[in-house]
Amino acid sequence: MDELLEYFSYKRNFLPSHYLLKIKSYSLISKAEKYETDIFEAGGYKWRLTFYPNGGKNNNGNNYISLYLGIAETNNFGVGWEVNVIFYLFVYDQLTDTYLTIQAKQFHSMKTKCGFSQMLKLETIKNPENGYLVGDCCVFGAEVFVLKHTSNWESVSVDKSSLISNAAFTWKIKKYSTLKNGFYESEVFTVGGINWTLSIYPNEWLSIYLNLADWQSVSTKAAVYADFKLCVIDQINGKHLESKAKDFAWGFLKFMHLNYLRDASKGFIVRNTLIVKVEFLALSETKSFSKQQNSAEESHKAPTKRLKVND
């Protein structure tokens, strides 16, 4: 039996999900040293509660009630077995319809029973104003959550532009004056193993955005973090207009006013061609690992609808 010294407690409104012990004749049960419940199952293992109505005498439980959770039927477990759990023990407050909740954890071959020798003082539980013992009846409960390691994990790193293959893309929009729709999108291009598109909205202002091209079709949805800048090329003077994306922006609603864009002296539209460029300054790379892969590394740079960019 193991006494838990580190724990925390609070009150909650909803029932314990795995087991309840309702004692209808506490005054009679209290004459016994202990009461052990029937076995119940949770998390693929079998458990039982042990209640000491006058405290566990061997664990400084005098003048307290003691309550323990024990793992049952361990004979078939292998040598050195261990079950990692988070479990909760409860005492029902019948006046406020709430449960005093105490959290604790872990079982192994040398520790098959865990709990609290000093769960509550006897004077506390017997005081009717506290609501724990009403009409010679009290209620206890348990929840047991087994922590099973799946061996699935991932690592994420952010590469600077010098480590990104094909870190820039240039989109030439020909016959610009003939564009009549409010939205235009480039062909799909690949940077850092991820498919992207550029899009423009030439209304009163020229809006420019970077988009993930096919996040819906990708089975993994790890977030993609990127730092990039968008640019409209000055084909005459070399004075390109560029801006870095900031915060959670995908691009810019008001990148450039159309009057400024159409000013021939600025060189943005030459031979009826507009050139938009994106340059990636940093881009995340996610590597996933799973037990099923026998520790083999699966590297992917998975698109998702959410795109975070940093200045």
Degrees (nearest 5) of the Cα angle 293, 295, 296? 65
Segment 93-122 mean pLDDT: 85
Tens digit of pLDDT for each residue in 125-153? 999 999 999 999 999 999 999 988 778 88
CA 255 distance to own-chain centroid: 35
Tens digit of pLDDT for each residue in 198-238? 999 998 999 999 998 877 766 667 788 889 999 999 999 99
Tens digit of pLDDT for each residue in 29-41? 999 999 999 999 9
| pLDDT, position 300 | 42
Give 7's DSSP letter.
-
Q: Residue 283: is its pLDDT beyond 70?
A: yes
Rounded distance, CA 228 to CA 246, Å?
9
Q: Residue 124: is its pLDDT beyond 90?
A: yes
Q: Are residues 95 and 34 in contact, defined by beta-carbon separation less than 8 angstroms?
A: no
Degrees (nearest 5) of the Cα angle 19, 42, 92? 20
Instruction: Collect all residues with Cβ–Cβ distance below 8 Å to 24 and sequence separation of at least 6.
Output: 136, 137
Half-sphere exposure at residue 261, Cβ-oriented, CA atoms within 13 angstroms: 25
| pLDDT, position 246 | 56
Other CB atoms within 10 Å distance of the CB of residue 299: 11
Tens digit of pLDDT for each residue in 247-258? 445 889 999 999
Confidence class for position 5, pLDDT limits 50, 70, 90: very low
Q: Are residues 65 and 59 in contact, defined by beta-carbon separation less than 8 angstroms?
A: no
Q: Buried (b) or exposed (e) across 205-215, using 16+ Cβ within 10 A?
A: bbbbbbbbbeb
Q: Residue 305: is its pLDDT beyond 50?
A: no
Confidence class for position 297, pLDDT limits 50, 70, 90: very low
| pLDDT, position 220 | 64
pTM for this structure? 0.61
For residue 173, which of 161, 184, 159 has the smallest C-alpha distance? 184
Q: Residue 156: is its pLDDT beyond 50?
A: yes
Rounded distance, CA 182 to CA 200, Å?
8
Q: Which amino acid is located at 214 in the chain? A: D
| pLDDT, position 162 | 78
Torsion-angle region of 76 (φ positive above 0: left; ψ -120 to 50: alpha; else: beta): alpha
